[in-house]
Amino acid sequence: MVSSFSRQQVERISHTLAVLGEPHRLQMLRWLRRGPRTAGFLARAIGVSPSLASHHLSVLVDSGLVTRRQVGTFVCYAADRTKVKALHRELGRLAGALLPDDEQRGASAPC
């Protein structure tokens, strides 16, 4: 049931889905799940300018799905695996809450 989610949880999930609804950000997160990368690497990997890559990375960092760390003269980005796994679990719960089980489907469907 969707009502098992608090308003705050629904808003957080909605915000995160909006962040990941941008295709470049989703591609970046997929790369970052493989390991830390620089903005330059990600820009080349997904075919965008370095400034656009930096913008998208800032949005991902602000969302909490990605971390930023200075390594010498480089800035490395990595997926926050704990938060990505938590999002995965929440999306699974949400999908289950949106789909009726077989019993409910037969009992309450007017058609």
Asked if residue 32 belongs to a domain, the reply is: yes
Asked if residue 7 belongs to a domain, the reply is: no
For the stretch 48-70, pLDDT in tens is 999 999 999 999 999 999 999 99
For the stretch 12-34, pLDDT in tens is 889 999 999 999 999 999 999 99
pLDDT for 111 beyond 70 = no
User: DSSP string spanning the chain?
Assistant: -GGGS-HHHHHHHHHHHHHHTSHHHHHHHHHHTTS-EEHHHHHHHHT--HHHHHHHHHHHHHHTSEEEEEETTEEEEEE-HHHHHHHHHHHHHHHHHHSPPHHHHHHH---
Domain range enclosing 68: 23-95
Look at residue 72 in the predicted model and tell me its pLDDT. 94
Look at residue 1 in the predicted model and tell me its pLDDT. 45
CATH assignment at residue 79: 1.10.10.10
Asked if residue 44 belongs to a domain, the reply is: yes
The whole-model pTM stands at: 0.80
Domain count, the chain: 1
